[in-house]
Amino acid sequence: MTAILHDYEQVIYADFEFVAKPGELPDVVCLAWREEPGGQTHRLWRDQLGDVPPYRIDERVLFVCFVGNAELHCHLALGWLLPVNVLDLNAEFRRITNGRTVPAGKGARGVGLLRL
């Protein structure tokens, strides 16, 4: 993983909170993200979100999330472009734990990911 991170100028760790009705795009409630390098953490509520993402999403940035389809659907619901490079930690976690019991659960909080 370290070698991959050195290929990017910036890494964004993002998490959206939203309400989802079947068959509809998510209704975004808030967004939290952390930027590396630097370690700045940001939080914005629905009424503070603009027409473009508040972070870079270009080819020199790695967008890291847990359950990428949810986070990327939030981008679409807000009318934002999708990040060029996405690392979905849920997919990686499932690959590693496939067929195994995980005592703390298989959600983002259960696997001990940093809380934004």
Least confident of 1-10, 38-47, 95-104, 107-116: 107-116
Cα–Cα distances (Å) from 83 to 12, 95, 97, 107, in that order, read 10, 23, 27, 23
Residue type, 87: L
Residue 1 reports pLDDT greater than 50: no
Q: Could you give the maximum distance between any two Cα atoms of the chain, in Å? A: 42
Which structural domains are found in the chain, ordered by start? 2-88 (3.30.420.10)
pLDDT tens sequence across 18-34:
999 998 889 999 999 99
CB atoms within 10 A of CB 7: 9
Q: Are 71 and 15 in contact (CB under 8 A)?
A: yes
The overall pTM is greater than 0.85: no
